[in-house]
Amino acid sequence: MYDDLLVPTDGSEAVERALDHAIPLAVDHDATLHALYVVDRRVATAGSSELHDEVIADLESQGETAVSAVADRAREASVDVETVVRTGTPDTEIVAYADEAGIDVIVMSPEGKSPRERIRSLGSVSDRVTDDATVPVFLIK
């Protein structure tokens, strides 16, 4: 039923709760788990142009760390995993990646960022993904 599962990550502890559900689901279905981090281009363009490249590099580094953490957990459970870091608007990139990669289900937590960070990122990414995704979205609270 599920061959490919997507776990978007922002590197927060909430991703651990999503993985607590996604990894057993991947094991049960012999599925590949995809870990996706999106460098939010809105954050990168908010500062001065002199800092743009430095900010992007820092966010990409954070992204690599975040997807590596997901990959480590998946590999510990003998789950095949693919990691991806993309740049764009998080909800748009999550939905686009799900479509492009043939994802069967998205597993994510709606509580990754602090309320202040959610306000800066214009609301809940998980709400917009749930609204726009063409596949089921499991929200793990």
Say if residue 79's pLDDT is above 60. yes
User: For the chain, what is the largest distance between any 2 Cα atoms, rounded to a whole number of angstroms?
Assistant: 49
Q: Please determine, for residue 92, whether its predicted confidence score (pLDDT) is greater than 80.
A: yes
For residue 88, give the CATH number of its domain.
3.40.50.620
| Contacts of 91 by beta carbon, 8 Å cutoff, 6+ apart | 125, 128, 129, 132
Give the pLDDT band of residue 45 (cuts 50, 70, 90).
Answer: low
Task: Report how far residue 83's alpha carbon sits from residue 85's, in angstroms, rounded to the nearest whole number.
Answer: 7
CB 136 within 8 A of CB 107: no
Looking at residue 44, its pLDDT comes to 65
Task: Give me the mean pLDDT over the 89-101 stretch.
Answer: 96
Average of per-residue pLDDT across 25-29: 97
Q: Which residues contact 60 (CB under 8 A, 6 or more apart)?
A: 39, 85, 87
Q: Does pLDDT of 49 surpass 70?
A: no
**How far apart are alpha carbons 24 and 107 in whole angstroms?**
12
Q: Which residue has the higher pLDDT, 113 or 69?
A: 69
Looking at residue 56, its pLDDT comes to: 85
Number of domains in the chain: 1
Whether the per-residue pLDDT at 43 is higher than 90: the answer is: no
Q: Look up the pTM and report it.
A: 0.88
**H-helix or E-strand spanning residue 90:** helix 90-100
Question: Which of 3-7, 57-61, 90-94, 98-102 is predicted with the least confidence, judged by mean pLDDT?
Answer: 57-61
Give me the pLDDT at residue 34, please.
Answer: 98
Domain that holds residue 37: 4-139
Q: What is the CA radius of gyration of the chain?
A: 15
